Structure 1
Amino acid sequence: MTVRVLVADDQTVVREGLMLLLSLLPGVEVVGAAADGLEAVELTGRLAPDVVLMDLRMPRLDGVEATRRIRARHPGTEIVVLSTYSDDTSVFEALRAGARGYLTKDADAESLARAIAVVADGEAHFAPHVQRRLAEAVSGPEPEAPARSGVPARGAGGGRARGAPPLPDGLTQREAEVLALIAEGRSNAEIAADLFISEATVKSHINNLFAKAGVRDRAQAVTYAFRRGLAPGRAP
């Protein structure tokens, strides 16, 4: 399946370079380019791209507000942020606005292609150092020797240690396992393989845990996992 991509960046050299790079990637079609957030919103309505590759710092309308408007008006279009900035404020504002992916501008072609494909498939994708910053902002720095005491062991026979605190919001042990794997950036197929269950069962667990946790997508689920101590290396 070809993913239709709109590029939004106010710097001409960057914008044209991205268009050229994306045009060389298999399975990607560049349908347009915007020089600011307002134009990105307008072109999204006109061209109906699958994914918008969105800069954050742009004139007239910044990338965060453009993301918010696009997600509200065109929920079928996903947003991947591609920014020079990866500070906590930029990352959290973009995620709250509805972005499902976040890369920095030192990303290579392979990383761009993977992010576009993953996000177009309805999943979240973050650059590794962005995901680490997200984890640290929510839960503090990673310990040198992380322990998974707050997350059920993987596999069909996994269970919580005796005396472990109860899971939040009525999550089952299996739902907590699936959530932990989402926080690791695993796809549905990878989760199914890790837990020896079908992808249909994985989707069922995800729907259930999203409803219980009150999150609407994988990006929010990652944040929830770190806040509740259910991400890898976290204990509640």
Structure 2
Amino acid sequence: MSATPIRVAVVNDYELVVMGVAAILTRFPDQVTVVELDSGMNPEAEVDLVLYDSFAQGQGAALDVASLVGQTDAKVVVYSWNTQPELVQQSLDAGASGYVSKSVSGEDLVKQLALICAGDTIVPPDEDCDGAVGRWPGDEHGLSPREAEVLALICQGLSNDDICNRAFLSINTVKTYVRTLYRKIDVDSRTQAVLWGIDHGFRPDRSRVRLDDRAGATEV
């Protein structure tokens, strides 16, 4: 365990997702310090780890580690519901230093971050994961994490086939999520779903917030 708190930047295109992950980490101030929150932007502060939430993001071979770390020596840790071994290996091959499943508790998340920071390579077991960890757009409307991710990708203009590739889901699974999320938000078409999504937090954000214990939060 590190003698001083690990400095972490949390990265995802959706501010709600980033804030949800930060809320988990801030419960462990003796072990982790959340230095920066980035939505649609890359970290600039000096940190030990970049925690990359994969919600509606590029994953696996599409992971751009160099862009995420910028000029720092930070390690990138992928935080994801997708734990297929081939996807995990692609992420490691792309330069990630570790991969943590969203099924873990906050306490275990912090423990795994500490191990990765110390030089261990942590990977999750291959298991289905659709847990309710953190926050995501649409959760207050009853959308599951996976349904919300599919809707976010629809709002980004992706086809069902594109969503399969981005979210590492089968086409039948994507179609099932589309049907269930349509029912939950009471729409009948892709256009209606996009319009609903735009009005309910599914437009990607662009913000950078640096956290300073002395001065509070500073938005850049």
Q: TM-score, normalised by structure 1?
A: 0.46
Which structure carries more strand by proportion?
2
Which structure carries more helix by proportion?
1
Query: Which structure's CA Rg is the greater one?
Result: 1
Q: TM-score, normalised by structure 2?
A: 0.49
Higher relative contact order, chain-length normalized (CA < 8 Å, sep 6+): 2
